[in-house]
Amino acid sequence: MGPEAKLHKKLVKDWREFTFTRLENISLLGTPDLLVYNNNRHFFTIELKVTKGKKLKFSPHQIAFHVKHPDNTFIIAQALGPRSANRFHMYRGSRIMELAACGLKLDACCLGLDACYNFLSELGA
Q: What is the pLDDT of residues 113-124, one digit of tens each?
A: 999 999 999 998
Residues contacting 77, CB < 8 A, separation 6+ = 49, 50, 51, 56, 88, 89, 90, 91, 104
Query: pLDDT tier at 5 (50, 70, 90 boundaries)?
Result: confident
**Model confidence pLDDT, tens digit, residues 59-101:** 999 999 999 999 999 999 999 876 665 689 999 999 999 999 9
